[in-house]
Amino acid sequence: MNNYYVDLHIHLGRTKTGKPVKITGARSLTLENILEEATEVKGMDMIGVIDCHVPEVLDELEQLIKEGIVFQYEDGGMRFKDVTLILGSEIEIYDEKCRGPIHVLAYLPTIEKMREFSRWLAARMKNITLSSQRIYEQGIVLQQTVKDLSGLFIPAHVFTPYKSLYGKGVKSTLSEVFNPKQIDAIELGLSSNTKMADHIQELHSYTFVTNSDAHSLAKIAREYQQIRMEQPTFEELRKALHQQSGRQIVANYGLDPLLGKYHKTTCEGCEKVIEDMVQERCPYCGNQKFVKGVYNRIMELGNEESKSPSNRAPYIHQVPLEFIPGLGPKTLKKLRDYFKTEMSIIHDAPESAIKELLPQKIAEAIILAREGKLTLQSGGGGVYGKVKK
């Protein structure tokens, strides 16, 4: 068995010919750039690109196979250099069973399966060429279709206030919206962690995944997991999500929820954090509209005590390198040139070598970030938290 670094939620900004995919995604987020960044800069072993339903993207992949740049594993997944690409799709549902919208992630093992899925989606979407489009179909029908194609089905960023399972206006239980037996894992999102999510009893039977939801190359692997598998293939990933035959998630690495955009309830008017939710008006500006924070929503839905199942992987708080005060592009490049990848910097670089390369204050911040000991300021209302200088 080997341990692999995995980020399963990366968006495409543009196709190779420059056509938009994720409108809010960076233009530099092309398929080839993502593959290069993931393997050469980030040091990831497996990534999920969740806009692979787009026909032109599938054409690009087939061309890369013809050129011998990418090959397809027999057990599913595409191999490029030192990284495996898992073909995924993010889809928005809004049916009579939920008051959504809700985003979900579907992953398919091969190009052929994703082509078939893309054709099915095209008959139920207004624009198959764009990311995260609404499907005019029931969520449970979508689930069954993914399963019929040997795919994986994962509700996305389940606690964010907008477009999530437990978000604003959505039902209170998973079983009201989906078939619980056809869910392969739960994606936590940037404003929550395992301890928070395990306040909710119905989630105890699912593996938690932590992914970046990257809208730019720099954001790849801001959250990720380490997974124990025989090989970095689709079928091995499936086994790991269901903890079969020794395959499992070893650790989830993610932001401290304080750094997330929606951790605490925030006033829509002045964007200040509201600590006392008993109030009907913002104490700062008098506004009556709030963006409910992930923490507050979980406390509404869950039990007072958070009790994780014994087989739950540990959640390790990490601050992404780009969040560290004083660590600019030139200094980060210096670190990458020396240690090769960000995974090496974060996990393997000796403290003595970091201190030798960098000014004392920055070196100490990186070391504290590894240990989850930096002082943080809470985020909310769509604004990220930050590291206090």
- Residue 277 is assigned to a structural domain of this protein: no
| Residues whose CB falls within 8 Å of the CB of residue 263, separated by 6 or more in sequence, listed in order | 191, 257, 293, 294, 295, 378, 379, 380, 385
What's the alpha-carbon Rg for the chain, to the nearest Å?
20
- Residue 386 is assigned to a structural domain of this protein: no
pLDDT number for residue 333: 86
**Range of the structural domain that residue 352 is part of:** 321-373
Residue 236 token pair: 């091995």
C-alpha pair distances (Å), 13 with each of 78, 102, 114, 214, 223: 20, 21, 19, 10, 19
Q: How far apart are CA 249 and CA 132, in angstroms?
A: 26
Q: How far apart are CA 90 and CA 9, in angstroms?
A: 9
pLDDT number for residue 268: 77
Confidence (pTM): 0.92
Q: How far apart are CA 274 and CA 345, in angstroms?
A: 37
- Residue 299 is assigned to a structural domain of this protein: no
Residues 180 and 97 in one domain: yes
pLDDT number for residue 209: 98
CATH code, domain carrying 114? 3.20.20.140
pLDDT number for residue 293: 79
Residue 110 token pair: 């091969």
Residues 246 and 350 in one domain: no
> CB of 116 within 8 A of CB of 149?
yes
Q: How far apart are CA 42 and CA 34, in angstroms?
A: 10
Residue closest to 125 by CA, chosen among 31, 51, 25, 63: 51
pLDDT number for residue 163: 87
Residue closest to 63 by CA, chosen among 39, 32, 20, 26: 32
Residues 110 and 26 in one domain: yes
Segment-wise mean pLDDT, segments of 10 residues, the chain, 389 residues: 97 95 94 96 97 97 96 96 97 80 96 98 96 92 97 94 76 82 94 90 95 95 96 98 97 83 78 70 81 80 81 90 84 88 90 90 85 68 65
Residues 227 and 119 in one domain: yes
pLDDT number for residue 281: 80
